[in-house]
Chains A and B, each alone.
Chain A
Amino acid sequence: KQEVTQIPAALSVPEGENLVLNCSFTDSAIYNLQWFRQDPGKGLTSLLLIQSSQREQTSGRLNASLDKSSGRSTLYIAASQPGDSATYLCAVLNYGQNFVFGPGTRLSVLP
């Protein structure tokens, strides 16, 4: 059974810092991995999608890496801003074509 964990559970940083969020998964048989952002009480916004054959994806200040063999992914956020405050969810898409989500990292960027 696939399990996804995320570290840290919560993070509070001053504006402008670079930060790294970590995700681990137990079964390397995944189709892809996605990072989502969720604002309080809202739905999910896809940030980055990494196919199982890829190593990383970049979008603006965000960079995500994937090491499938070790079951790890990281989300790097450069020059953090208060608007980045949200919960960040890591999810793996298995071959049954449903997502298994981690519990999320709650990020607070202080002005």
Chain B
Amino acid sequence: ETGVTQSPTHLIKTRGQQVTLRCSSQSGHNTVSWYQQALGQGPQFIFQYYREEENGRGNFPPRFSGLQFPNYSSELNVNALELDDSALYLCASSLRDSLVNYGYTFGSGTRLTVV
């Protein structure tokens, strides 16, 4: 069984640009969550996708948006990049059964640097 894969691993963008990060969920999982981890801090929840719809969101502005595809993979899009968006972006997949998520598995992350 494959794990969670994220691409790209590293990315450098200029302030004001837009970026798309990608995540392939673990086989058998149907839910994807995204987290932002600034340097020296714990990860912060951005949002979660289930059945191709946003299912929970943290305290992030609307310029952070996402998609989930029929194969359960996901994209995180960030518009109008700011210097503070520089962080490690982590994707996690899980199997949602009723109201519970099982088997949370994290990817290795995408390191985004905004200059």
- Closest-by-CB residue of B relative to A98 is B45
Chain A neighbourhood of B109, CB < 8 A: 42-43
- In the bound complex, CA of A98 to CA of B56 (Å): 8
Chain A neighbourhood of B35, CB < 8 A: 99, 101
Chain B neighbourhood of A96, CB < 8 A: 56
Is there contact, CB below 8 Å, between A99 and B111? no
**Interface residue total, chain B, C-beta cutoff 8 A:** 26
Main secondary structure of the interface of B (DSSP, over half): strand
Is there contact, CB below 8 Å, between B90 and A44? yes
Chain B neighbourhood of A45, CB < 8 A: 106
Main secondary structure of the interface of A (DSSP, over half): strand
Chain A neighbourhood of B58, CB < 8 A: 98
Chain B neighbourhood of A104, CB < 8 A: 41-42
B73 at the interface (CB under 8 A from A): no
Chain A residues in the interface with B (C-beta under 8 A): 4, 31, 34, 36, 41-46, 89, 91, 93, 95-104
Tell which of B43, B92, B104, B111 touches A41, judged by Cβ atoms closer than 8 Å: B111
Is there contact, CB below 8 Å, between B42 and A98? no
